[in-house]
Amino acid sequence: MEHKTSASLTQPFSTDCRRADERGSSGHHRTVGRFGDYACDSPLELIESAAKHMRTRHAENVEFVLWTGDITVARSTTELERYQAIRNMTELLSRTFSSHFVFPVLGHLDPAPSENLTNLWMHWLPLEALQTFKIGGYYTIEQSHSKLRIVALNTNLFSGRDASSPAAGKQWAWLSAVLEKAQDNNEMVYIVGHAPPGPAARPGHRAYSPEDNARYLRTVRRFARGIAGQFFGHLHEDTFRVVYDNDQPVSWALLAPSVSPYAGPASATNPRLRLYKFDTNTGKVLDYTQYSLDLTAANRAGTAEWVTEYNMTTHYALPDISPASLHALADRLRYAPHETMTFNKRIFAEWVAEYNMTKHYALPDISPASLHALADRLRYAPHETMTVNKYLRAYHSGSSEACDGACAHQHYCAITCLEHLSYRQCVEAAASALAAAGDSAPLVAPLNNIVLTFIVLLAICLEKYLHCVMH
């Protein structure tokens, strides 16, 4: 299956783009390249090149496409502009994958469910799915040839402004009923949404209200045995999450990076997209391969050459993709050597090479247990500098930022502590230990922090009441 997220299609399709610090203003404009600019959203030609790459290289291996929202941009202020962007993307995917199903979800900038959107996607979604989509933007689809069920959420209903709406209550009741039925029928479930649960490694960001975040995690724990995977976008970052129950990793979520090169006023990334390999009989995710486009080189050459960026299991030396493996990987990130790792364009250019998730991370499979083990490897292996190196390169393709031990610790907290309170305690525990050691620098932004010392690790081990700090 292919995962496409946050294409952020520029309207109209122009190569004229504002500087990142002037978006939304009436200030200076500049002409950018054919395939876009790091300070801009995606021109149509960039998105077409991504779709063409998947069609020409992998069309026969694609079962379906996950489209996790955010095709519109903040400048598209009217419902008509947002609808037109959705329609253009729908037509592009329909032409490119004419014999495949595309499962779309709504991004936080996309239009609300409507009759127009329902009609636009009726060739992809069956009648029952269209009925619930029209009500609240959510739906479920059972794969006809396997025991796999797609559960598509409207994560906009988990945000503070919509969490108390009637549609939000209906989605919660519907989600429980769907997961219970899937459990009774021995179906495996893919949960697909735009925004992931939990905080982000960058400070101050959370997509769900605290109440809805906690409720979602309780739901995942309850039905974890039947959830084969969770897939999200929104953050424009390549990362993952591990869900725990009684201190044991029971489920995982993979967050795909964006086709859009614009990742915020202070950051940018090369366009990327992802192809998952999974067992069609069981739904078990075996691996994924990620593709990237060197935007600077593409604009210079006038042609888009998408290359294999990495394969997950190979890149991280994972035995599989499972909660245990991803937990071990997170631990390797946390207890990395105390040295700053700077990633510039030269390093990134050397790094762009083929990788497969299970081989790269030496994972036996993609499962809650394997992803848990991967998170542990990130935390408990001080000698595994390359693990953190690989993770950060994947996390933000083309980044020129630095990340030290404190930064790695904050990534660990974001991966393993999905409750808002536990995340804050995880971060503050390290900051308190640093202060006790005589260094008052705060542990905030993930890419510009001081080094964690041994005393931090010792202090964290003493926090036995908090599982997120104990793992």
How many CB atoms neighbour CB 383 within 10 A? 10
Distance CA 90, CA 71 (A): 10
In a domain, 88, yes or no: yes
Distance CA 453, CA 437 (A): 9
Give the pLDDT confidence of 318-373 residue by residue, as tens digits: 999 999 999 999 888 876 644 333 223 222 333 344 467 887 778 888 888 888 88
In a domain, 201, yes or no: yes
Domain that holds residue 280: 2-417
**DSSP designation for 360:** H
CATH number, domain with residue 378? 3.60.21.10
In a domain, 58, yes or no: yes
For residue 29, what pLDDT band results from cuts at 50, 70 and 90?
low
Three-state SS letters, 31-90: ECECCECCCCCECHHHHHHHHHHHHHHHHHHCCEEEECCCCCCCCCCCHHHHHHHHHHHH
For residue 276, what pLDDT band results from cuts at 50, 70 and 90?
very high
In terms of DSSP bridges, do strands 148-152 and 139-142 run parallel, antiparallel, or are they unpaired? antiparallel
Number of domains composing the chain: 1
Average pLDDT, the chain: 78
List Cβ neighbours of 393 (8 Å cut-off, separation of 6 or more): 343, 347, 348, 351, 399
Give me the pLDDT at residue 454, please: 31
List Cβ neighbours of 262 (8 Å cut-off, separation of 6 or more): 8, 20, 38, 39, 40, 41, 236, 268
Q: What is the mean pLDDT of residues 8-15?
A: 41
Give me the pLDDT at residue 79, please: 80
CA distance to 160, 333, 409, per residue, from 309 (Å): 36, 20, 25
In a domain, 287, yes or no: yes
CB 318 within 8 A of CB 363: yes
In a domain, 425, yes or no: no
Length of the chain: 471
Q: What is the mean pLDDT of residues 65-69?
A: 89
List Cβ neighbours of 388 (8 Å cut-off, separation of 6 or more): 332, 333, 336, 341, 378, 403, 408
CB 413 within 8 A of CB 378: no
In a domain, 209, yes or no: yes
Q: In what order do the strands lie in the sheet with 139-142?
A: 139-142, 148-152, 188-192, 227-232, 248-255, 239-245
Q: Coil, helix or strand for 265?
A: coil
In a domain, 334, yes or no: yes
Give the pLDDT confidence of 223-233 residue by residue, as tens digits: 999 999 999 98
For residue 16, what pLDDT band results from cuts at 50, 70 and 90?
very low
Q: What percent of the chain has pLDDT over 70?
A: 72
Range of lowest pLDDT (2-11, 51-60, 146-155, 299-308): 2-11
Distance CA 66, CA 54 (A): 13
| Ramachandran assignment for 246, one of left (phi > 0), alpha (psi -120 to 50 degrees), beta (any other) | left
Three-state SS letters, 135-147: HHCCEEEECCCCC
And the tokens for 276? Answer: 């998952």
**DSSP designation for 73:** -
In a domain, 448, yes or no: no
